[in-house]
Amino acid sequence: MRYLPLSDTDRGDMLARIGVDTIDDLFADVPEKARLNELLDLPRRAGELQVERQLSTLAAKNVAAGSVPFFVGAGAYKHHVPATVDHLIQRSEFLTSYTPYQPEITQGTLQYLFEFQTQVARLTGMDVANASMYDGSTGTGEAVLMAHRVTRRNKAVLSGGLHPQYRDVVEDISGMADDTVVSLRADPTGTEDILAQIDDDTSCVVVQSPSFYGQLIDLKPIAEKAHAHGALLIAVFTEVVSLGLIEPPGAQGADIVVGEGQSIGNGLNFGGPYVGLFATNQKFIRQMPGRLCGETVDAEGRRGFVLTLSTREQHIRREKATSNICTNSGLCSLAFTIHMSLLGGAGLKKLARINHANAVKLKKDLSAVPGVEVLNTAYFNEFTVRLPKPAHDVVEALAEKGILGGVPVSRLVPGDASLENLLVVASTEVNTDEDRAAFASALKEVLA
Amino acid sequence: MSMNTQGRPTAPGEAETSYRPKTFTGNRGLDMEEPLIFEFGHFDTMGVDLDEPQDFAPELGQHARVAELELPGLAEPEAMRHYVRLSRNNYAIDSGLYPLGSCTMKHNPRLNEKMARLPGFGDIHPLQPLSTVQGAVELIDELARWLMVSTGTSAVAMSPKAGAHGELCGMMAIKAAHKAAGRDPKMVLVPESAHGTNPATAALLGYKVVSIDAKDDGTVDLASVKATLAEHAGNVAAIMLTNPNTCGLFEREIIEIADAVHAADAYFYCDGANFNAIVGKARPGDLGVDAMHINLHKTFSTPHGGGGPGSGPVVLSERLAPFAPLPFIRKTDDGPVLVETEADTLEGEQPFGRMTAFHGQMGMFVRALAYMMSHGSDGLKQASEDAVLNANYVRVGLQDLMSLPFGERPCMHEVLFDDSFLKDTGVTTLDFAKAMIDEGYHPMTMYFPLVVHGAMLIEPTESESRAALDLFIATMRDLVMSAQRKETDRFSGAPYLAPRRRLDETAAARKPVLKWTPPAPAEVTPAAAE
C-alpha cells in the first residue's frame, strides 16, 4: 500500500522487538466476540489511476457552475478566485499543520490568523473578530447562544429575511437547549415589523442584510430599539462581498456580526467547507466562542502571536466553556485572507461594484420578460422575482436548457403557497452579457 | 555562460565558527522576519485586475457604504512572497514527524486534493437543481456506505462540520430519541479522561455532567458506571466514552458498559477521535455504540489545515437512525435521493432538525472517500495495524527510561507517559516538549488526558517508517538522559532554534491585542521640534 512505509520485514522485526508473536497480540484487549476475523465487506486497495477514474466518473455526472450561465446564490456564491490563492493554501506548511498549539513553530498560521481577524474586524466595522467558525449558519447559532450569555436572557427574535436554513440551525439548537425563538414569517421585501417583537425579555434580534431574498435592510432603528430594551442586535450576512459597497453592520449599531466568508477565496464545494466570520465589540470578547489569536512577545522580545483567552474554550473550561468548538475553518480562513490581501479595500469595492452592476443589468433583463416581477427595491447582487408559475418547475426547465437560474424559495421553505412562485437569483462578476441574454431568453421560453 | 568558480573557495574564512552575526534585517538566512500586511500593503494597491463597470445606476437605496474600508492590498508577487515566507515558519507533517496524540497527524495524500478540485465536485452549488448534482449525491451515499460498513452501523448523519459538531449532532439525536419515548433525563456520564469537547457538548444541551471514575489501569470502571446509573436511575441520558480511550487503551469492558447503559434506558455515545486504531479490526456497532462521530480529518486523512476545516459524520445505531438530522439520503429504486426538508420526510423518518446550512463538508467527503478507496478493506486494516505497531514500537523503545502510568502493557495507536521520570530533574513536561522542537520534532500532546500527571501522549501514526521511528526514539532517549543529568539549560530556555523563542502567553491573555492597530504617531519632543 503506497501510503504505508513499513515492509513485512520491518513488521516482523518490530513485533519481535515489542515481544509479541503476532499483531493481534497487540489487539488482545478487544473483546473476542467483537474481533473482526475477516476483511470488511468493501473493495480491496486501488491504485491512484483507478481511484481517479472512478471519482472522475462521479464528478462528470454533475453540472459545474463554471460550465453554464449560472445565477444561483442564496447563501453561497460563484466568484472568481485568483490562482495564487489555491497555490498558497496547498503549501505543505499550511495544509498539513495542526492547530497552532506550539506557537514557536506555527507563527505562519498564527500570523495569518491575526491578519484575518484584523481584516474581518475592519470589514464589518467591529472591534474584534475570532479566528473563524465552521460557516455562517453555525456561526449564527453560536451568536445567539453568546447573546444569551451576555444578556442572561433566552429569547431570540429572528427576522423573516434570515436564510431559512440559518433559521433552522438556530431554532434546532435553541429548542434542544430549552431557549425561546420567535421566528417572523418569510419577508421577501423587508417590510416586516420586527420592532414590535422586541421587549424586555428579548436577548437578541437576528437580522440578515442583504436578506435571504436580497433586500438591503436598515439596521440602525433595530439596533436602537434592541438597545433600549437591553437586547443585542446580531447582524448576519451570507454575501461578504456586499460589505465592499454597503454600510457595515458595525457602523449601524450591531453588537455581534456573523456571516459567511465563502465568497472570498473559497469555492462552492457543494456547501462546504466554508468559513464563518464572527465579530463583536471589545466588551464582549470573554463571551466569544471559538479561537482567538493575539499578539505577544517571545523570550527575546520579538513580536509573535499565540492563541489566547483559551480559558473560554472547551479544552480548558470543559462543561463551562463558551462553546464546544475545537476544529474551525483554518485553511478556508487562509484562503479568505490571501484573496482579501490581493483585493485590498480598493479591489473589494471594485469587485462589489461589478457584482452590483451585473445584478442591476440582470434585473433589467428579467423585468423585461413578460410575467416576471422583481420584488426588491434596494439590493446588492441578488434579488427575488415572482414568476407566473411555480419556481421549482421553472428552474428544472431552465436546467434542461443548460441554464442554472436561481433557487426556488419553496426548496427551503416548502408548503407556503405565497412563496411557491418566488425565485432568488444572484449575479456576480462571473456572469457575462451573453449569460444574461441566454437566461432572459430561456426564461421567456419557459414561461411562454 | 557558466559561473567561474576558480579562485572562489567555498570553505569559510578565518572567522570563529560559532559567531552569529546580528543582522540588519533581523533575518537569519532563510529564516525571514515578515511584517504584517497592514505594515507594508497600500490601500490603493491591488493584486487583481478588474474593469470598472460602465453604464449603470446603483440600486442600493440608502445603504451605500460611507464608513472607511481600510484594507491594504498587495500586488500578486508581494502576496506570493508574504505568504510563502509565513508558511516557512510552520511545522507540518510533510516536513517532519508530528506525534500529537489524539490528533492523528498522518500523511495527507495529494490525490485527495486533486480529486476534491475536480470541477464536478469543487465547482457545484449546494442549491443548484438536484438533477444537476446526482454524482455528488452518489458520492456522499458511497462514502456513507464505507463509513457504515467499517463501523457496523445502519445510518450516518453526514452534515456535521467537525468532531465537536458531530458530538453535538449525536447528542441531539439522543435527546430527540428520549423525547420521542416520553423521557426527559437530565444527566450525561463523562469520564475524567474525556476530551474537553464531550462535557462542553453535553452542557450546551442543558445536561448535567456527571464524572465517572477510572480504574488504576486507565480504563473506565464498570462498577462505577453501574453505581452511577443506579444512583440516578431513569435520569441518565447517555454516557460519552472515547474508545480506544485517551490513555491509548482499548476499553476492555466496553460491551458490559454498553449493556449496563442500555439496561438503564440510556444511550452510548462514543467519541470516535481514536477510531483510526481499530478500522478493520473491530466495529463500534458490535461494541454496543449508539452514536459515534468520525473525524474525517483524523482517521481518513483529510488535511488539518492549521486548525480546520474538519468533518464529523456521525454513525447511528438502528435505535437512533430515525432521528438523523436533515439533510439525509434516502435509498430509492431510482438511486439515492437527498431529503432536505421536513416536508419531504416519510413515515418513520423523524429528523431532529438541522445542524448546518446545506449538506456538510463535501470537499472533505471527496478526500476521505479517495483515501478509503485507495486503501480498500485490506489497506484500512493494515493502516490500523501499522499505527498500533508503531505506537508500541515507540513504547518499548522508551519504557525503560520514561514512565508508563499504567504499566508495561500494549497500547493502541498512541502511548501515554507521565512525568514521573522527570522527578527531581527540574525539567517539566512543557520544557521537555520545547526541547523536542530544537531537535526538529513537533512535541507530543501534553497535559492531556487530565487523569495523568504531566501527561505526554505520543501518536506516531502509520505514516512513519521504521528508520524515522528509530531516530525519534534515539532522540527522545537522548533528551531524557540529558534531563536526568540535569542539563537544565537545554530545556528551561528551549526552544532556542525555532523561528521564535518561548512566547509570553500570560501577557497575551492579560491585555489581549486581537488585531493590528496603527502605531500612535510619535510625540513631537521639544528636541525633535527644534
Q: What is the pLDDT of residues B199-222, one digit of tens each?
A: 999 999 999 999 998 888 999 999
Residues from chain B contacting residue A91 (CB–CB below 8 Å): 83-84, 87
Complex-level ipTM: 0.98
Residues from chain B contacting residue A429 (CB–CB below 8 Å): 50
Banded model confidence at residue B14, pLDDT cuts 50, 70, 90: confident
What's the mean per-residue pLDDT of chain B?
94
- Along the 448 residues of chain A, how does pLDDT read in single tens digits? 999 999 999 999 999 999 999 999 999 999 999 999 999 999 999 999 999 999 999 999 999 999 999 999 999 999 999 999 999 999 999 999 999 999 999 999 999 999 999 999 999 999 999 999 999 999 999 999 999 999 999 999 999 999 999 999 999 999 999 999 999 999 999 999 999 999 999 999 999 999 999 999 999 999 999 999 999 999 999 999 999 999 999 999 999 999 999 999 999 999 999 999 999 999 999 999 999 999 999 999 999 999 999 888 888 888 888 888 888 999 999 999 999 999 999 999 999 999 999 999 999 999 999 999 999 999 999 999 999 999 999 999 999 999 999 999 999 999 999 999 999 999 999 999 999 999 999 999 999 9
pLDDT higher than threshold 60 for residue B1:
no
Q: Which of residues 310-369 of B touch A (CB under 8 A)?
A: 310-311, 325-326, 340-341, 343-344, 352-364, 366, 369
d(CA A54, nearest CA chain B) in Å: 9
Pick from B86, B399, B445 the residue to mutate for testing the A interface (most A CBs within 10 Å): B86
Give the angle subtended at the CA of B40 by the CAs of B37 and B42, to the nearest 5°: 90
Specify the DSSP element, H or E, that contains A191.
Answer: none
Round to whole Å and give the CA distance between B426 and B483: 8
Neighbours of B39 (CB within 10 A): 11
Instruction: Determine contact, residues B296/B364, Cβ cutoff 8 Å.
Output: yes
Contact A6 B87 (CB under 8 A): no
Q: Which of residues 273-292 of A touch B (CB under 8 A)?
A: 273, 275, 285, 291-292
CA-based nearest residue in chain A for residue B288: A34
Closest CA to A133 of A125, A145, A142: A142
C-alpha cell at B499: 523561528
Round to whole Å and give the CA distance between A418 and A425: 18
Please compute, for residue B43, the number of CA atoms within 13 A of its CA located in the half-sphere on the CB side.
5
Instruction: Determine contact, residues B476/B402, Cβ cutoff 8 Å.
Output: yes
* Strands B187-191 vs B208-212: parallel, antiparallel or unpaired: parallel
How much is the pLDDT for A316? 81
Q: Which of residues 213-242 of B touch A (CB under 8 A)?
A: none
Residues from chain B contacting residue A61 (CB–CB below 8 Å): 120, 134-135, 138
How much is the pLDDT for B6? 64
Round to whole Å and give the CA distance between B260 and B221: 12
Contact B196 A342 (CB under 8 A): no
Out of A13, A64, A341, whose CB is closest to B74? Answer: A341
How much is the pLDDT for B5? 58
CA-based nearest residue in chain A for residue B343: A414
Residues from chain B contacting residue A109 (CB–CB below 8 Å): 90, 306-307
Q: Which of residues 86-145 of A touch B (CB under 8 A)?
A: 86-109, 111-112, 114-115, 117-119, 121-123, 125, 127-129, 131-132, 134-138, 145
Contact B308 A330 (CB under 8 A): yes
Where does residue A108 fall: left (phi above 0), alpha (psi -120 to 50 degrees), or beta otherwise? alpha
C-alpha cell at A218: 436598515
Round to whole Å and give the CA distance between B94 and A224: 52
* Strands A232-237 vs A256-260: parallel, antiparallel or unpaired: parallel
Q: How far is CA A74 from the centre of its chain?
A: 11
Round to whole Å and give the CA distance between A273 and B365: 10
Banded model confidence at residue B55, pLDDT cuts 50, 70, 90: confident
The radius of gyration of chain A's CA atoms, rounded to the nearest angstrom, is 25
Round to whole Å and give the CA distance between A100 and A307: 7
State how far the alpha carbon of B206 is from the alpha carbons of A138, A141, A174, A318, B196, in Å: 18, 15, 10, 14, 16
| Mean pLDDT, rounded, for B400-415 | 96
Q: Which of residues 248-267 of A touch B (CB under 8 A)?
A: 248, 250-251, 267
Give the angle subtended at the CA of A315 by the CAs of B230 and A261, to the nearest 5°: 120
Q: Which residues have CB under 8 Å from A276's CB, separation 6+? A: A132, A133, A134, A135, A136, A137, A138, A139, A258, A259, A260, A261, A328, A329
Neighbours of B323 (CB within 10 A): 25
Contact A268 B125 (CB under 8 A): yes
pLDDT higher than threshold 60 for residue B529:
no
CA-based nearest residue in chain A for residue B341: A412
C-alpha cell at B464: 512513519
pLDDT higher than threshold 70 for residue B2:
no
- Looking up cell 443506579, which residue turns up? B230
Closest CA to A275 of A253, A259, A291, A299: A259
Contact A92 B92 (CB under 8 A): yes
Contact B133 A104 (CB under 8 A): no
Closest CA to B389 of B412, B406, B416, B417: B412
CA-based nearest residue in chain A for residue B177: A176
Pick from B127, B259, B437, B472 the residue to mutate for testing the A interface (most A CBs within 10 Å): B127
Instruction: Determine contact, residues A380/A239, Cβ cutoff 8 Å.
Output: yes
Round to whole Å and give the CA distance between A73 and A424: 7
Banded model confidence at residue B525, pLDDT cuts 50, 70, 90: low
Exposure string over B202-240, b if 16+ CB within 10 A, otherwise e: bbbbebebbebebeeebbbbbebbbebbeebeebbbbbb
Q: Which of residues 25-54 of A touch B (CB under 8 A)?
A: 25-31, 33-36, 39-48, 51-52, 54
Round to whole Å and give the CA distance between A143 and A132: 12
Closest CA to B54 of A356, A425, A382: A356
Contact A327 B146 (CB under 8 A): no
Instruction: Determine contact, residues A174/A112, Cβ cutoff 8 Å.
Output: no
Pick from A57, A287, A326, A367 the residue to mutate for testing the B interface (most B CBs within 10 Å): A326
Q: What phi and psi values does residue B453 have, to the nearest 5 degrees?
A: -75, 125
Q: Does A314 touch chain B (CB under 8 A)?
A: yes
C-alpha cell at A237: 450576512
Q: Does B455 touch chain A (CB under 8 A)?
A: no
What's the mean per-residue pLDDT of chain A?
97
Checking A8-16 for CB contacts under 8 A at 24+ apart, the result is A10/B465, A10/B466, A11/B386, A11/B389, A13/B466, A14/B389, A14/B390, A14/B392, A14/B393, A14/B466, A15/B389
Out of A52, A172, A325, whose CB is closest to B352? Answer: A172
SS3 of B419-449: HHHHCCCCCCHHHHHHHHHHCCCCCCEECCC
Specify the DSSP element, H or E, that contains B202.
Answer: helix B197-204
Round to whole Å and give the CA distance between B438 and B458: 18
Neighbours of A371 (CB within 10 A): 14
Closest CA to B433 of B99, B90, B86, B31: B99
CA-based nearest residue in chain B for residue A3: B463
Residues from chain A contacting residue B161 (CB–CB below 8 Å): 134-135, 138, 272-273
| Mean pLDDT, rounded, for B501-511 | 96
Pick from B36, B124, B386 the residue to mutate for testing the A interface (most A CBs within 10 Å): B124
Instruction: Determine contact, residues B326/B351, Cβ cutoff 8 Å.
Output: yes
Contact A412 B341 (CB under 8 A): yes
Closest CA to A412 of A398, A399, A422: A422
CA-based nearest residue in chain A for residue B109: A3
Round to whole Å and give the CA distance between B214 and B304: 31
Out of A23, A295, A320, whose CB is closest to B508? Answer: A295
d(CA B53, nearest CA chain A) in Å: 5
